[in-house]
C-alpha cells in the first residue's frame, strides 16, 4: 500500500506541470487576450439578452392587444342566419 501511495504521489507531482492553467483560466489580468475574451463574453451576453428581451416584448404586445376590445366594425354580429338557408 505504501508503494502504491508513493507512486500515486509521484505521478501527481509529475503531472502537476501539465495542469498549469493558461492565461484565460489562470486569470492573467494584464493580458490582451483576456481583455478581448471579456469583451466577447459581454457581447454574447448582450446578444442573448436582446433576443430574450425581444421575445418578452412581443409577448407583452400580444397580451396587451388581446385584452383590448374589438372595434365596432370588427365585432361579429349575432345575426340569425336561418333566413338565408
Q: pLDDT tens digits, residue range 29-68?
A: 677 777 888 899 999 999 999 999 999 999 999 999 888 8
Q: What is the dihedral of CA 25, 29, 33, 38, to 10 degrees?
A: 80
Q: Does residue 69 surpass a pLDDT of 90?
A: no
More confident residue, 4 or 73: 4
Q: What is the pLDDT of residues 8-20, one digit of tens each?
A: 777 766 666 555 6
pLDDT given for residue 26 in this prediction = 60
Record the pTM: 0.50
Amino acid at each position: 500500500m505504501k508503494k502504491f501511495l508513493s507512486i500515486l504521489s509521484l505521478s501527481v507531482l509529475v503531472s502537476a506541470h501539465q495542469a498549469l492553467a493558461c492565461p484565460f483560466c489562470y486569470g492573467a489580468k494584464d493580458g490582451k487576450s483576456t481583455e478581448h475574451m471579456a469583451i466577447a463574453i459581454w457581447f454574447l451576453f448582450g446578444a442573448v439578452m436582446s433576443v430574450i428581451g425581444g421575445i418578452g416584448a412581443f409577448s407583452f404586445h400580444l397580451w396587451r392587444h388581446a385584452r383590448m376590445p374589438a372595434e365596432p366594425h370588427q365585432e361579429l354580429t349575432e345575426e340569425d342566419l336561418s333566413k338565408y338557408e
